[in-house]
Amino acid sequence: MGNVGTHTTSDEGGAGVGTHKLDMRVTAALGFMVLASACIGLRATYADEEPDWRWVRAGDITLNLELLTRDGTISAGEPLLGRIQRTNQSGQHIHLLLGSSRGKITYLTVRDGDGELVAAMPRATCLPQIMCPQEYLGGMSWRPGENRSEVWVITGWYQFQEAGEYTVHVQLLDRAKEGLPVISEDRASVRVTPFDGSRLEARCDEIFQPLRKGMSSRTDVPMVARVKALYSVRNDIVLPYLDWIARQWPNPYTCDAIRRIGTERAEKLLDALAAREDRVGKEVRKGAKRTRREPMVWDVVP
C-alpha cells in the first residue's frame, strides 16, 4: 500500500527523453542481472543442500479441498471458505514453479448443478523457457512428506447468490510445462439454500468474534482469511463488522468492501468514516479515489 513515485523528464533539446530511454535500458539490464543471479543462486543452494531434488511430476502431490461448512450447506450470500491442503507423496525432494498475483498455480472453478461454469479464477501462465534454463527457475521446494495448507475465501470470487447445488473444483498446475498439465486435483460440493438474514448474521458473527477477541492465531482459520470472508459479503448485515475493522485496522481495502455493497446504508457509513479527523478518516478518503469493484486473486488467497 506504499506510494508509487512518479518519474518526470524534460524534453528540452531532447536531452530529457534520451536520458529517460537510457534509464530504461539500465533498469532492464539490472533486472536481467538480478534474475540471472537469483537463478544461479537457486541452483547453487540446491546443489549444496539437496543434490537429489527434481521437478514435480503428475501425481507427486496430493490435493485435498475441504469446504468449511457445518452441514454441507450455506445460505445465499453467506461467506464460504475452503481449506486447500497439498502433500508431497513422491518420497523425493521436489520443486515446482509458483504463480503470481495475476494467476495462481492452484486453479479454482465453480460449476452449478447443471455443470455450467459460473466462475473461474485466472490461471497461471506458462513461464517462457527463454527467460532462463528450466533447471535454474525459481519456485517452491517441497521435502518428502511435507504438507502445506491454506484457507481460501471462495466467496471472494463468487458470492453464491442463487440457491442450488454447486461444485468447487481446484487443480494444481505445472507452470514449468507447456499447456499447464494438472499435477493433482479435487472437488467438493455445496448446497446453497435461499437467503436467510438470521443465518447470514450468525455466520458473520462467528467469523468475526475471534478477530474482536484477538484469538485468530489460536483458531484453524487465519485472521486474514476471516477479514477477507467478511469483505466478501454483499449485504448490509456485514456493515457493523466492516465498521469495526475500518476503525481497528484502517486500510483502503475495507472501503472497497463497504463500497461494493452499494446500498444507501453503506454509503452513509463511508461518509461517517471519511469525516473522521484521524488515520481512519484519512484511509477512507484515500479509498474513495479507488474504483475497484471486480474481484482479484487477492480477495480469495491469503
Contacts of 257 (CB under 8 A, 6+ apart): 230, 231, 232, 233, 242
Contacts of 67 (CB under 8 A, 6+ apart): 80, 81, 82, 154, 168, 188, 189, 190
pLDDT of residue 145: 94
pLDDT of residue 134: 45
Distance (Å, whole) CA 128 – CA 139: 14
pLDDT of residue 2: 37
- Please give the backbone phi and psi of residue 33, each rounded to the nearest 5 degrees, phi first: -65, -40
pLDDT in tens, the chain (302 residues): 333 333 333 333 444 444 444 344 434 444 444 444 444 444 444 444 545 778 889 999 999 999 999 899 999 999 999 999 999 999 999 988 876 656 678 999 999 999 999 999 988 777 654 344 444 445 778 899 999 999 999 999 999 999 999 999 999 998 888 888 999 999 999 999 999 999 999 999 999 999 988 865 566 899 999 999 999 999 999 999 999 999 999 988 898 899 999 999 999 999 999 999 999 999 888 877 776 667 778 788 87
Query: In 3D, which of 217, 220, 261 has the Cα closest to residue 242?
Result: 261
Query: In 3D, which of 150, 141, 139, 89 has the Cα closest to residue 300?
Result: 150
Do the bridges between strand 54-55 and strand 94-96 make them parallel or antiparallel, or are there none, so unpaired?
Answer: parallel
If DSSP codes are grouped into helix, strand and coil, which group holds residue 92? coil
Distance (Å, whole) CA 35 – CA 41: 10
pLDDT of residue 101: 57
Distance of alpha carbon 37 from its chain centroid, rounded? 28
pLDDT of residue 235: 97
